[in-house]
Chain A
């Protein structure tokens, strides 16, 4: 398994994999969006705004999926100390943050006609907001620690601490929210999903997943190349100096 995690192997693998995934993403999202706008029915209660759901739900799903990817990579970092796991971890954080952010924005747009305001402290949205904060903090951690191995280890531990914490946060937020106001558009008592809505949703979700995979692979590739560039820069700095290998002369 470690053989496949060799950075050169990864670079060779993603070269054809990126265009394939990108193509699948384009097809799935094109079909999905067509179904969303021209086939799926408007909701009898929510009207056209229900179409936001087809972006909102996949974004929420990927915001959490990215955290799972990041946690698996964090295990790879801690157990095998592998540079590709570091790169996978580092690359997943901004993508997860982006999808979570999209989820929050679409959620508040969806909520506007319901609540009359862009944001209420709804339990689900609030949990996603906390997830976004965790992502942003991890990104800041990556940015602040300059040495990549040390950053990877610190981020890995924080990611796993976050993983354990997320269910607790979710539970606490739910409890906090029910204390104050039970109403929510997103509760399970919402409109039942018919198959005419389910298919577009599934296709959008799969398309968004491929979008994530494409971007993740591109980002991992960039990270591997960035580390190579760093190494080459060190070599270039040394290259201008007098050459010589280390030698040792014993005392007489």
Chain B
């Protein structure tokens, strides 16, 4: 699989946020999106996920522009966890909803275990702290297998141990041929990752 962008431009609120972004990502590769605050890192990731329209330029997957959204995971600032449902129920739902061609990933218990959260499986998500909620959201990456991961500041609110767990999960994903695109300010431990620097558009 190969995700390729040429001269990508994205507008938001009538203003051009991202201007002429180029990148090329194929199996097992990782790409770090860097840049100062307001450079449009989040905007770029949301546009790739199909949550924002692309104003100009081309984005294609193996030469096709269709259906990119259904092969990727997007982890944004909001966790998408319902406080009234248990963490396990939340993950089981996303596992079923985001499954591609009915293919399930790891079980919610297993996915939470990868982030050291196995003990909250049956507890309503409303009880979780900010860091725990973020880890539960990251566990969503594992319950529905999808090749491309778009991670927007994935280490926000994570302690050192959880950052290590995330690094391991990402390494396993890449070893299995997955791709990662992460907007971040902190080193993520992504070896051999490319870098896409965004500047403030004039």
Contacts and interface: CB of A to CB of B under 8 A. Distances in A.
Interface stretch (A63-71, A92-100, A230-238): A230-238
10 tightest A-B CB contacts, nearest first: A240-B119, A237-B127, A233-B127, A237-B120, A237-B123, A233-B123, A234-B127, A237-B128, A236-B123, A242-B161
Size bin of chain A's contact surface = under 10
Nearest to B119: A240
Contacts of B127: 233-234, 237
A247 to B, nearest CB: 16
Contacts of A236: 119-120, 123
B129 interface: yes
What does DSSP make chain A's interface, helix, strand, loop or mixed?
helix
A239 B120 CA distance: 10
Nearest to A237: B127
Contacts of B116: 240-241
A155 B146 CA distance: 48
Size bin of chain B's contact surface = 10 to 19
A238 B120 CA distance: 9
A236 to B, nearest CB: 7
Contacts of A241: 116, 132
B118 interface: yes
A238 B132 CA distance: 10
Contacts of A240: 116-120
Nearest to A230: B127
A50 B117 CA distance: 64
Interface string A205-239: 00000000000000000000000000001101111
A242 B119 CA distance: 13
Interface of A: 233-234, 236-242
5 contacts: A236-B119, A236-B120, A237-B127, A240-B116, A240-B119
A242 B124 CA distance: 21
A239 B119 contact: yes
Contacts of B120: 236-237, 240
Nearest to B159: A242
Contacts of B124: 233
Contacts of A237: 119-120, 123, 127-129, 132
Nearest to B128: A237
A239 B117 CA distance: 11
A51 to B, nearest CB: 46
Interface string B106-134: 00000000001111100110011100100
Contacts of A233: 123-124, 127
A102 B118 CA distance: 48
A236 B117 CA distance: 11
A78 to B, nearest CB: 28
Nearest to B131: A241
Contacts of A234: 127
A242 B162 CA distance: 11
A242 B116 CA distance: 10
Contacts of B161: 242
A233 B87 CA distance: 13
Interface string B89-117: 00000000000000000000000000011
A241 B131 CA distance: 11
Nearest to A238: B129
Nearest to B118: A240
